[in-house]
């Protein structure tokens, strides 16, 4: 991918814009002219590989995203850029081809893509900005199921983008902190996300989008990013709603959440990481190739190394997201959040059945003096009883943890929360094994079933139409409800959540008030 540059200063709104239905149409945006091409559906114009920041290479490695110089001529935006540096894995457990990154990787990766159904700049359509998941170690805007055409056909202008990953996106180090004007380091991937949102704010009207109606959405690490952006003062006024799928919307250490490290702790880990690479100084680190940065240390346990993820740096993130909520300092926007039934048993494999004896031992270890109360609510005297107790207690605890998260949020937020539980298994040979696994909802909510070769049925297509309509409605209005859709209420005092997928109806958090009360007490203790 040829490097390009632009200035981050916004250009006048009066910039030239030809009718969006015109083939090869040109749009004058920040940095110069770009030309798009029709998508697989000719009613959608696509613009792929638009730079939104300078290539973070050389001395810009581990720096905040920087402005670029405008490019000459017309930039042909007809293909995805390289993905950010990561290990490419063709398939992993339940995540088959359509869930994975496949194109080239490069440090020069800060590009975005626009998918628009608009016919003119005057359309002012709602904007949907998607943030990919991947544990902050992998992922790409070029992943097939993230394609923006599906939701664009629902009347949204969709933006997808790349952000730096792993050590190149989240390394903190004392020298990096020292050279920073804000005396912070480590959150470069988050700063990339904020830079992309600035680009949207300055340019999306030229593609028929409304910069005053922007929804950010993400799954897994993308969901955690959504929460971090909601907590970051640097993202203030850059978005107006949030969708957080499967990440960070629970309390009590339940579910998918990464407790952010402090700057001092992350700096110490960064120093250790540099030492494993033989780098004594920041200059030494920047002198290494990205292949050397990514290379595993011979003989080292890969699970014991530093965890590259967002941290509390005092600048991008002044505190953890939950602390920011408690202080009432978040960007207060309507939020949709939820998880999948398959996540309740673990991400990487189905939850294995346990014996009655093992289940009881686990209960006593986890719940201490409350264990006997737990075992009365979820009897496990036989192995058969245990399978039911294991399944129901895991589900109930997760739903109560999500409900309590919304209750904590409601103490300082004025906006509504819509919560869901996804219960539909993707069709395929492993459907019974993995069920509604982590991220299995994405092709349905993104309206991208056509990007997969799984044996989808008419039922799948109906579920996809329903789910993508909920998501599109929420992005447009802050309320997922619409004509022909089962009613979905915002979370209130009633302890229930919306089940979506095979069934689409409100369900109680647990089988009885006593079970809800048990987990509410336990989780509120912060265990």
Catalytic annotation on 334? no
**How many residues make up the chain in this entry?**
527
Q: Which of 81, 185, 220, 468 is catalytic?
A: 220
Q: Which of 130, 173, 240, 438 is catalytic?
A: 438
Paired tokens of 364? 């006593």
Beta-strand runs (E) in 78-172: 83-84, 105-106, 111-116, 125-131, 157-161
Buried b (16+ CB within 10 A) or exposed e, 255-286: bbbeebbebeebbbbbeebbeeeebeebeebb
Q: Which of 269, 343, 441, 499 is catalytic?
A: 343
The CA distances from residue 350 to 300, 424, 501, in Å, are 28, 15, 19
> What is the C-alpha to C-alpha distance for residues 66 and 63, in angstroms, rounded to an integer?
8
CA dihedral 136, 139, 145, 151 (to 10 degrees): 60
Catalytic annotation on 5? no
Paired tokens of 509? 């958090």
> What is the C-alpha to C-alpha distance for residues 526 and 522, in angstroms, rounded to an integer?
7
CB 169 within 8 A of CB 155: no
> What is the C-alpha to C-alpha distance for residues 77 and 36, in angstroms, rounded to an integer?
5
> What is the C-alpha to C-alpha distance for residues 40 and 83, in angstroms, rounded to an integer?
22
The CA distances from residue 456 to 145, 375, 450, in Å, are 14, 41, 9
Paired tokens of 465? 């139409």
CA dihedral 174, 180, 186, 188 (to 10 degrees): -150
CB 4 within 8 A of CB 75: yes
**All residues at 6 or more sequence positions from 287 whose CB lies less than 8 Å from its CB, including other chains:** 279
Name beta bridge partners: 51: 111
Catalytic annotation on 361? no
Q: Active-site positions? A: 220, 343, 438
């Amino acid at each position: 991918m040829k490097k390009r540059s632009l200035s981050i200063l916004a250009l006048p709104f009066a910039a030239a814009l030809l009718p969006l239905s015109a083939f090869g149409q040109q749009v004058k945006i920040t940095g110069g002219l770009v030309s798009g091409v029709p998508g697989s559906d000719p009613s959608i114009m696509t613009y792929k590989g638009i730079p939104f920041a300078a290539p973070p290479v050389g001395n810009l490695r581990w720096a905040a995203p920087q402005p670029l110089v405008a490019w000459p001529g017309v930039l042909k935006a007809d293909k995805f850029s390289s993905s950010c540096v990561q290990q490419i894995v063709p398939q992993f457990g339940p995540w088959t081809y359509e869930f994975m990154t496949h194109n080239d990787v490069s440090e020069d990766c800060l590009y975005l893509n626009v998918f628009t159904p608009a016919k003119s700049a005057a359309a002012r359509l709602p904007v949907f900005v998607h943030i990919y998941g991947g544990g902050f170690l992998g992922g790409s805007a070029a992943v097939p199921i993230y394609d923006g055409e599906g939701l664009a056909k629902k009347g949204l202008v969709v933006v997808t983008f790349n952000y730096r990953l792993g050590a190149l996106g989240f390394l903190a180090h004392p020298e990096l902190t020292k050279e920073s004007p804000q005396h912070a380091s480590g959150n470069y991937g988050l700063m990339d996300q904020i830079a992309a949102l600035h680009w949207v704010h300055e340019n999306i009207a030229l593609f028929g989008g409304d910069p005053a109606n922007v929804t950010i959405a993400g799954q897994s690490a993308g969901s955690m990013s959504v929460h971090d952006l909601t907590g970051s003062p640097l993202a203030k006024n850059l978005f107006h709603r949030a969708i957080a799928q499967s990440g960070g919307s629970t309390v009590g250490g339940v579910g998918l959440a990464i407790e952010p490290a402090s700057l001092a702790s992350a700096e110490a880990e960064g120093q250790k990481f540099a030492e494993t690479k033989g780098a004594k100084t920041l200059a030494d680190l920047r002198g290494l190739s990205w292949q050397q940065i990514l290379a595993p240390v011979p003989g080292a346990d890969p699970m014991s190394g530093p965890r590259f993820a967002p941290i509390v740096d005092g600048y991008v993130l002044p505190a953890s997201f939950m602390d920011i909520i408690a202080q009432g300092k978040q960007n207060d926007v309507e939020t949709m959040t939820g998880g999948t039934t398959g996540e309740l048993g673990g991400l990487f494999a189905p939850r294995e059945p346990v014996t009655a004896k093992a289940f009881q031992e686990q209960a006593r270890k986890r719940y201490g003096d409350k264990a006997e109360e737990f075992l009365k609510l979820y009897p496990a005297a036989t192995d058969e009883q245990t399978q039911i107790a294991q399944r129901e207690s895991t589900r109930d605890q997760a739903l109560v943890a999500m409900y309590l998260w919304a209750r904590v949020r409601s103490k300082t937020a004025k906006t509504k929360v819509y919560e869901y539980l996804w219960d539909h298994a993707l069709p395929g040979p492993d459907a019974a094994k993995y069920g509604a696994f982590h991220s299995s909802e994405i092709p349905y909510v993104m309206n991208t079933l056509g990007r997969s070769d799984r044996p989808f049925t008419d039922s799948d297509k109906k579920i996809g139409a329903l789910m993508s309509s909920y998501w599109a409605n929420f992005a447009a209005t802050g309320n997922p409800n619409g004509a022909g859709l089962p009613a979905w209420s915002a979370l209130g005092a009633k302890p229930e959540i919306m089940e979506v997928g095979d069934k689409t109806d409100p369900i109680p958090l647990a089988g009885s008030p006593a079970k809800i009360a048990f987990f509410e007490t336990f989780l509120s203790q912060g265990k």
